[in-house]
Structure 1
Amino acid sequence: MTYAIIGFGKIGQALAHAFARKGIEVAVAGRRPPDALAPQARAIGPTVVARSLKDALHADTIILAVPFGEHREVANALPDWSRKTIIDATNTYGVPPEDLDGLPSSAFLAKAYPGAKLVKGFNHLIAATLAGDPVVEGGHRVVFLSSDDENAMAPVAALAKQLGFAPVNLGRLGEGGALVHARGSTWGPLIFQDLFKKSQ
């Protein structure tokens, strides 16, 4: 399984730290060319590799950490999204609900990636918390996951565990997943909740 983070702002870098901490190779790409990202990527860890957007999208699992308004630009960079898993770490705070056709933001975003398996995840923690060690107080920091594709959930939950987090399945995007979606100028009730699961 190969991984890429698209977007190398605060959230993208926080996720890169999580991969580097576990020695898992991950490609990173953003608006700037790879040679501009490379020093920052190397500073995070040797397994974080700056790539062009085109090259990064060869990965099996792609984490979207771009501003929500840029998701179509990423989608247009690849003609075929089948066999790809997309982890949507974006947020839509401030986006009018009518601009999303009344859908949860991830369901709206999924329309731009036909054929992909989409999971909402890694979006509810602030960057500084997400970048930190997920092992806290004898347990593991929780990440919430939701998807309308049951087959997509297991590999993303496995990745979250590999990164040291405790995945919690909230179910479908429009049901439990609504708890981690921003709507207009309102944050979902689980956004910013820094919870941890005690080790058994």
Structure 2
Amino acid sequence: MKIALLGTGAVSRVLAPAFLYLGHDVVVGTRSPLTTLDSNTAYARLATRYSALGLCTFADAVPDAELVVNAIDGPSCVAALTSLAPALAGRVLMDVSSPFDWSLPDAVLDPVNTDSLGERLQRALPKAKVVKTFNTLAAEAMAQPSAIGDGDHTVFVSGDDASAKAMVTELLRSLGWKDVLDLGCIRTARATEMMLRMWIDASVALGTHMFGFKIVR
């Protein structure tokens, strides 16, 4: 499968090699490839290690992709993707963003309760098929669920399109996820996005961000 990963932060640096290992064609989208290679030393090291990993602008990354992953920071992802609406029409957009500005010392969730980033993206990209997932986890756990409790924890998906959720679920299972819970329509992204505050406080209490949430039946 051809996958476009938008963003060059920690999430992208974890998922890109994992997708390559599974045999997918992966390209990373960024605002400015030259600036990324010059100033993002962590990504530059990744690019050196994985020669098959392409890097281009957001606009150039999307057209050939069967799956687009939004790994752009939450506060700026809606604005960044809105201009790509025509190219994203009909495509599955796997959204892993969080409504939290990590640059502030104690930022609040925005949006929260009555809206979500997942819903904002779906409204901004009405012809795309948005699937919310992975936003309740540390980046390192996304591609290696077995690193926490031998993989015995839950990952969630939310979205309006059943076939898009099936595609994302299949990808998650190929990464080793055993418990994938479909919460329903994209509106349910409100619930998982609001779990971020619990994730932050729990990580402080536990002294580690490597933990997961488990739905016990």
C-alpha contact 1:86 1:119 (8 A) present in aligned 2:
yes
**Which runs of no fewer than 5 residues in structure 2 stay unpaired?**
38-42, 101-107, 204-208
Aligned twin of 1:151: 163
CA distance 1:127–1:174, change in 2 (3 Å)? same
2:72 aligned partner: 66
Residue ranges of structure 1 left out of the alignment (5+ in a row): none
Q: Whole-Å Cα distance in 1 between the matches of residues 198 and 27 of structure 2?
A: 30
Q: How much identity, in percent, do the aligned residues show?
A: 25
Greater relative contact order (CA < 8 Å, ≥ 6 in sequence): 1
Residue correspondences, number = 192
Moved more, 186-195 or 164-173: 186-195
Q: TM-score, normalised by structure 2?
A: 0.72
CA shift at 1:13, angstroms?
1.0
Which structure features the higher share of helix residues? 2
Counterpart residue type for residue 160 of structure 2: D
Alpha-carbon spacing, 1:26–1:34, altered in 2? closer, same or farther (3 Å): farther
Match of 2:13 in 1: 13
Between 1:70-79 and 1:188-197, the stretch displaced more is 188-197
Deviations 1:23-52 (A, max 9, x none): 322111123315844743434534422122
Structure 2 vs 1, CA of residues 125 and 139 (structure 1 numbering), >3 Å: closer, same or farther? Answer: closer
In the TM superposition, what is the alpha-carbon distance from 1:61 to its structure 2 partner?
1.0
Partner secondary structure for residue 165 of structure 1? coil
Pairwise CA distance, 1:117: 0.5
Mark the CA change 1:35 to 1:164 in structure 2 (over 3 Å): closer, same or farther: farther
Code of the residue aligned with 2:182 in structure 1: it is N
Measured in 2, the distance between the counterparts of 1:178 and 1:96 equals: 11
Question: Partner of 1:49 in structure 2?
Answer: 54
CA 1:143–1:179 in structure 2 vs 1: closer, same or farther (change >3 Å)? same
Residue of structure 1 equivalent to 2:115:
103
Distance 1:121 1:48 in 2: 23
Q: Do structure 1's residue 30 and structure 2's residue 30 form an aligned pair?
A: yes
TM-score normalised by length of structure 1: 0.78
